[in-house]
Chain A
Amino acid sequence: METSQDSGLSAPDINVLRRLAGVLIPPDAALAMPGADDPEILADLLATLGRDRARVRAALAALRAAGFDAAAPAEAEALALSWMATGGPEAGTLGRVILQCYYRDPRVLRALGQDPRPPFPRGHVLEQGDWSLLDPVRARAPFWRDDRAGAA
């Protein structure tokens, strides 16, 4: 588990982040999807905040100021959804960093039928498709405007 020192976030900030992530993307056992508050996903998030750190910290401070950390579960969910819709660039950044760590977790990708690896070096197979679909277009006469004398 990432410590507060490593991430540049305080322990209360991390608690808010964990709670928020679990509200925004809750686990779904039927679909084999972990929640975004899963320890591995949260550790990835904390370790890779990078240039987003200041905005995330500001977002978490705003959520704490709104009483999110102390709210009862139902109230916390309503508060989180409302704040994410109205919290401006800070909410946008916080949402994105949660998504970009959640949707690169190997368990999440496998559950979605995706190969949990970067594109390079193996790449992907792209089928040629049915080129006979082009036949009616091939039959069309040229229709671009020719600007040369006598052609326009």
Chain B
Amino acid sequence: MTRNETVDVLIIGSGASGAAVAWSLAETRMNILCLEQGDWTKPTDFPANGRDWEARRYGDFAISPNERARVTDYPVNDADSPMKVANFNGVGGGTIFYTAHFPRLHPSDFRVRSLDGVASDWPIDYWALEPFFAENDRMMGVSGLAGDPGVPARDPPMPPIPLGRTGAAYARAMNRLGWHWWPSDTTVATTEYDGRAACINLGHCTPGCAQGAKASTDITYWPRALRAGVKLRPRCRVREITLNEHGMAAGAIYYDADGAECFQPAEMVILAANGIGTPRLLLNSASARFPDGLANSSGLVGRNLMLHPWPQVSGYVAETVDGGRGPMTCLWSKQFYETDPARDFVRGYTLQFARGAGPVAEAVDSLAAGRLPWGKGHHRAFRALLDHRLRIGIACEDLPEEHNRVTLDPVLTDSNGIPAAKIHYRIGENTRRMMAHGIARATEIMEAAGASQIGVSPTLNSPGHLLGTARMGTDPERSVVNPWGRCHDVRNLFIVDGSIWVTSGGVNPTSTIQALALYIADQIKRRLATLFDPE
């Protein structure tokens, strides 16, 4: 096995959180290395460059690693879950493949036990993260509009993406109902920003932005981190984290692009491999000291998996709207976000308003939903669908339940023979009631918009956010990491990704994941002299 030179900080994963923590720690002048199992993605690689731009979403740019099945992907056995997993394995990680919707958790999300009597409070609050939300907004480049009465004050550095025809149709419907709506915060550039040009509306944001208007960490954090001296080594897949004789992390064993086994020693290790990749790696790092998986004396590594059930309601209006020509998500509503004692569930959800789809996606979706027939009626039916679609996503808070978990599959492996993750997941009763409430409200909105052919998406295959599997807390028996991301069991091992979330909120998680990573990096910098001291 090749043994590399020791680094001060080894970061595993280069996505939303790994990039942020790398950039923040760079100012310490420590010797920092990031290992990433995937590749860099060139602008010319993205589907929007070619005439097969829609077809590739079902192939090498599918949101599911199981469908994408690149050599750089690892499989996830999701047969025991009604929801499927979304991720991307490459420099930038999930930010390559997200919709760029950029809401933050709300203050109440950190206080669910105190306010609503469910789950657990976080050991930190919104206000501790607030300066890091703002810093992250500047680094990623956020477009939006200040003054939203549904969320705490914030000041997006760019104006919002256009309403368009689709947004105006939603806005009129919401005003008729008297319900809150607001232009979404997104990381789509609407003006020139830090080397990115304003969005030209490719309308195909999720599987990567060929123009580079959408912020992903390969074009935001990483160029700055690399210039500051951080090293990033792609095509290096970590198999396990090893311990030294003192019970501290010694480094990581990984396979390089040629499949050669290497050992990377490090003074400290930071995991940024997402809510499935991180517990998978910890469970694969079992040892005599930690027979149930590294840093798992609590037994909570892999447990409390939260995936954000996200039903979608579609309807079709008579007027021509934006279709697939523009950023997918344009508005949000916080009308039903906070707990209302009059409802039969606690917590709440964001309504997320989307534009339509391109011709292929419209046809495939509508065929699956039973709106589009084969045969003689096909053409006339399709004309009433394409560019007439409204689509509302219901981003439901998913409460933590220990039986929802990540384990290691006894058979399935990745291309290096490393055991794959298996997820076991059921949608909880509170969430089911929340979903039903959201579907009913979204249906009312569609009716207020004058839509017909209103239907609920038959699948829950997206977005599959990956949260909660190595939760933070003050009690080592009830949490995996402490309030500043350090593992209770291994004092030079940190986790900064969505694994450490205590609850999920009802929003896309990337903004909060990154703010949390910046917060932990700041804590590390403040505590350098005593970083590995006992708690």
Q: Once bound together, how far apart are the Cα atoms of A96 and B182, in whole Å?
A: 36
Q: Is the CB of B363 within 8 A of A129?
A: no
Q: How far is the CA of A28 from the CA of B364 in the complex (A)?
A: 20
Q: How far is the CB of A3 from chain B (nearest CB, A)?
A: 21
Please name the residue on chain B nearest to A30 by beta carbon: B379
State A39–B236 Cα separation when bound (angstroms): 45
From DSSP, what is the main secondary structure of chain B's interface residues?
loop
With A114-B359, A147-B115 as contacts: A130 and B49 at CB distance below 8 Å? no
| Smallest CB gap from A50: residue in B | B59
Given A24-B375, A25-B378, A138-B147, verify A119-B203 contact (CB < 8 Å): yes
Determine if B460 is an interface residue (Cβ-Cβ < 8 Å): no
User: Given contacts A99-B363, A119-B202, A134-B182, is CB(A24)–CB(B378) below 8 Å?
Assistant: yes
Q: Once the chains are docked, how many angstroms separate the CA of A107 from the CA of B147? A: 47
Nearest CB on A from B137, distance (A): 18
Contact A147 B111 (CB under 8 A): yes
B172 interface residue per 8 A CB criterion: yes
Q: CB distance B200 to A123 under 8 Å?
A: yes
- Among A24, A28, A103, A137, point to the contact of B149 (Cβ < 8 A): A137
* Given A24-B378, A134-B182, A147-B115, CB of A104 within 8 Å of CB of B55: yes
Given contacts A80-B374, A118-B51, contact A147 B126 (CB under 8 A): yes
Residue B180 lies at the interface, judged by CB distance under 8 Å to chain A: yes
Interface string of B322-347 (1 = CB under 8 A from A): 10011000000010011100000000
- B107 near A145 (CB under 8 angstroms)? yes
Instruction: Please tell me if the beta carbons of B149 and A143 are within 8 angstroms of each other in the complex.
Output: yes
Residue B52 CB within 8 A of the other chain:
yes
Q: Please state if B50 and A145 are interface contacts (CB–CB under 8 Å).
A: no
Q: In the bound complex, how far is the Cα of B53 from the Cα of A101, in angstroms?
A: 11
B174 to chain A, nearest CB (A): 8
User: Which residue of B168, B363, B376 contacts A130 across the interface (Cβ within 8 Å)?
Assistant: B168
A112 interface residue per 8 A CB criterion? yes
Q: Mark A106-143, 1 if CB is under 8 A from B, else 0.
A: 00110011101111111111111111011011101111
Instruction: Give chain B nearest CB distance to A134 CB in angstroms.
Output: 7
Whether A112 contacts B375 by the Cβ 8 Å rule is no
- Kindly identify, within residues 79 to 118 of chain A, every residue whose CB is under 8 Å from any CB belonging to chain B: 80-81, 84, 92, 95-96, 99-104, 108-109, 112-114, 116-118
Give the contact-size bracket for chain A.
35 or more
A129 to B379, CA, bound (A): 30
- Closest chain-A Cβ to B354's Cβ sits at a distance in Å of 14
Contact status A144-B152, CB under 8 Å: yes
Determine if A118 and B149 form an interchain contact, defined as CB atoms under 8 angstroms apart.
no
Q: Is the CB of A124 within 8 A of B202?
A: yes
Task: Tell whether A72 is near chain B: CB-to-CB under 8 Å.
Answer: no
A interface footprint on B166-195 (CB within 8 Å = 1, 0 otherwise)? 011001101100101111000000000000
A26 within 8 A of B: yes
Residues of A within 8 A of B182 (CB): 134, 137
Of B157-165, B417-425, B498-506, B515-523, the stretch lying at the interface with chain A is B157-165
Which of A84, A123, A130, A141 counts the most chain B CB atoms within 10 A?
A: A123
Residue pair B51, A143 in contact (C-beta under 8 Å): no
A126 is contacted by which of B150, B162, B171, B387 (Cβ under 8 Å)? Answer: B162
Chain B residues with CB under 8 A of A138: 147, 149
B6 proximal to A (CB < 8 A)? no
Does B108 lie at the interface of the complex (its beta carbon under 8 Å from any beta carbon of A)? Answer: yes
**Chain A nearest CB, measured from B481 CB (Å):** 22
> How far is the CB of B48 from the nearest CB of chain A, in Å?
4
Q: Are B363 and A126 in contact (CB under 8 A)?
A: no
Complex Cα spacing A132 to B211, Å: 30
Interface residues, chain A, with chain B CB atoms under 8 Å away:
23-26, 28, 31, 33, 48, 50-52, 77, 80-81, 84, 92, 95-96, 99-104, 108-109, 112-114, 116-131, 133-134, 136-138, 140-148, 152
Given contacts A123-B201, A133-B172, 16 further A-B contacts (CB under 8 A): A24-B375, A95-B367, A104-B51, A112-B382, A116-B51, A119-B53, A120-B46, A120-B48, A123-B200, A125-B325, A126-B162, A133-B168, A140-B180, A142-B149, A144-B107, A147-B110
Residues on B facing A (Cβ under 8 Å)? 46, 48-55, 58-59, 69, 106-108, 110-111, 114-115, 125-127, 147, 149-152, 161-165, 167-168, 171-172, 174-175, 178, 180-183, 199-204, 210-211, 322, 325-326, 334, 337-339, 358-360, 363-364, 367-368, 374-376, 378-380, 382-383, 386-387
The contact sample of 17 A-B pairs, CB cut-off 8 A, is A25-B378, A31-B383, A50-B59, A100-B55, A100-B364, A103-B360, A123-B199, A123-B200, A126-B164, A127-B165, A129-B171, A133-B171, A138-B147, A145-B107, A145-B338, A146-B152, A147-B107
